[in-house]
């Protein structure tokens, strides 16, 4: 079988199975045959002695160009349902999600260490805008009775809980969107905000970790803390995606890299919004209630199991994802540009 017939056969298979359905050696062969056919087409055009063969090779090169160089991400995203797009985005961005969680954990460790060693760090790290004055923090830090009183359960009216929950949702969403939107500045604001959120959490937790068995504090913070921190980390991961597209765009250029990062980043933020709503509902209706400590810890355990199951599913999905063909497109583009006389004839 000559090269032209083999080239046509591979094109037909790629169009039927999609390019990702070809084996690795077939992808490599398709790129090689495209380059050689483009060079042959350029020579035929130069001689102008066989219009039928020129037309045939040109149609083959146009088909190959559409498969190898035209991005199919937009049409692929349109074919996928929202759930599939979200799952795909979570699988593709697990590294930046892990980085966001690592930054949060780093900040929590630093904040807990500073808060345990120096009470002045509590006043610096826990802002009064959250409702904790310096006098209140000092009392909590030095009085076990004040800590027990702070964590006491009491029933509050439903209307008051609903108002409190809406305020919490607005505040937490504003924090998440700020972390996402400022990430476009080369990731730096998102990193700082994520570390600071961790430091605030760690410093506040260090107050209650002074008790021998802080189960009451765990039951107070974990049910709403797990979905809330997950949502904040998703927003931070979206900001990191935008920042990496600006700081390290690769060969595509910043504009193309930013366009490619925008869709998964927005999907991460979209996934964070229902988590913010869940955290606000739990914080207002569960934390501000007389529900038992056992129920609260059980609820936190359920959230933790769901989070672990989701992370495991994302990890498995990431391993099953089809290989990206950017390397093939870049390699073919470099080889095509290096071939004499084949710079712009293939797509004509």
271-299 pLDDT, tens digit per residue, is 999 999 999 999 989 888 888 899 999 99
Q: 116 and 196 in one domain?
A: yes
Contact 3, 35 (CB under 8 A): no
Q: 331 and 234 in one domain?
A: no
188-226 pLDDT, tens digit per residue, is 999 999 999 999 999 999 999 988 888 999 999 999 999
318-334 pLDDT, tens digit per residue, is 666 544 445 445 555 55
Counting residues of the chain whose pLDDT is more than 90, the rounded percentage is 36
Give a yes or no: residue 319 inside a domain.
no
Q: What is the mean pLDDT of residues 250-254?
A: 80
Domain limits at 140?
82-291
Residue 52 has pLDDT above 70, yes or no: yes
d(CA 193, CA 197): 6
Give a yes or no: residue 197 inside a domain.
yes
Q: 178 and 62 in one domain?
A: no
Q: 87 and 65 in one domain?
A: no
Give a yes or no: residue 304 inside a domain.
no
Kindly indicate the confidence band of residue 33, based on its pLDDT and cuts at 50, 70 and 90. Answer: confident
Give a yes or no: residue 117 inside a domain.
yes
Q: 228 and 103 in one domain?
A: yes
Q: 286 and 244 in one domain?
A: yes
Would you state the pLDDT for residue 332?
A: 53
Q: 96 and 14 in one domain?
A: no
Q: 237 and 203 in one domain?
A: yes
Q: What is the mean pLDDT of residues 164-183?
A: 92
Residue of 208 and 152 predicted with greater confidence: 208
Which pTM was predicted?
Answer: 0.69
Would you state the pLDDT for residue 172?
A: 92
Q: 189 and 64 in one domain?
A: no
Q: Report the number of distinct structural domains present in the chain.
A: 2
Give a yes or no: residue 306 inside a domain.
no
Residue 184 has pLDDT above 60, yes or no: yes
Residue 122 has pLDDT above 60, yes or no: yes
Give a yes or no: residue 31 inside a domain.
yes
Residue 103 has pLDDT above 90, yes or no: yes
Give a yes or no: residue 347 inside a domain.
no
Q: 140 and 58 in one domain?
A: no
Contact 183, 237 (CB under 8 A): no
Q: 160 and 59 in one domain?
A: no
Q: 201 and 96 in one domain?
A: yes
Instruction: Kindly report the average pLDDT of the chain as a whole number.
Output: 83
Question: Which residue, 5, 65, 11, 59, is CA-closest to 35?
Answer: 65
Give a yes or no: residue 163 inside a domain.
yes
Residue 105 has pLDDT above 80, yes or no: yes
Counting residues of the chain whose pLDDT is more than 70, the rounded percentage is 86
């Amino acid at each position: 079988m000559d090269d032209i017939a083999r080239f046509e056969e591979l094109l037909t298979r790629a169009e039927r199975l999609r390019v990702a359905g070809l084996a690795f050696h077939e992808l490599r062969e398709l790129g090689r045959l495209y380059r050689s056919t483009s060079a042959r087409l350029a020579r035929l055009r130069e001689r102008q002695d066989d219009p039928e063969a020129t037309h045939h090779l040109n149609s083959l090169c146009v088909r190959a160009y559409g498969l190898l160089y035209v991005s199919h991400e937009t049409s692929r995203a349109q074919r996928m349902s929202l759930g599939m797009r979200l799952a795909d985005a979570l699988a593709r961005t697990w590294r930046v999600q892990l980085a966001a969680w690592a930054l949060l954990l780093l900040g929590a460790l630093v904040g807990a260490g500073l808060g345990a060693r120096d009470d002045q760090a509590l006043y610096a790290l826990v802002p009064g805008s959250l409702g904790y004055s310096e006098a209140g923090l000092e009392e909590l830090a030095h009085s076990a009775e004040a800590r027990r009183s702070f964590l006491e359960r009491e029933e509050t009216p439903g209307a008051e809980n609903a108002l409190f929950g809406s305020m919490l949702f607005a505040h937490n969403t504003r924090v998440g969107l700020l972390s996402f939107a400022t990430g476009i500045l080369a990731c730096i604001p998102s990193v700082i905000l994520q570390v600071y959120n961790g430091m605030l959490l760690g410093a506040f937790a260090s107050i209650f970790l002074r008790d021998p068995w802080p189960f009451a504090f765990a039951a107070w913070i974990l049910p709403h803390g797990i979905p809330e921190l997950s949502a904040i980390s998703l927003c931070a991961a979206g900001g990191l995606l935008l920042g990496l597209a600006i700081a390290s765009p690769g060969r595509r250029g910043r504009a193309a890299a930013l366009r490619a990062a925008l869709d998964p980043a927005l999907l991460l933020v979209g996934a964070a919004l229902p988590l913010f709503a869940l955290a606000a509902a739990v914080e207002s209706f569960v934390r501000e209630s007389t529900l038992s400590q056992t129920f609260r810890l059980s609820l936190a355990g359920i959230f933790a199991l769901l989070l672990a199951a989701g992370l495991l599913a994302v990890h498995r999905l990431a391993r099953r994802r089809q290989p990206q063909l950017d390397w093939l497109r870049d390699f073919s583009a470099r080889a095509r540009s290096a071939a004499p006389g084949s710079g712009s004839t293939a797509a004509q």
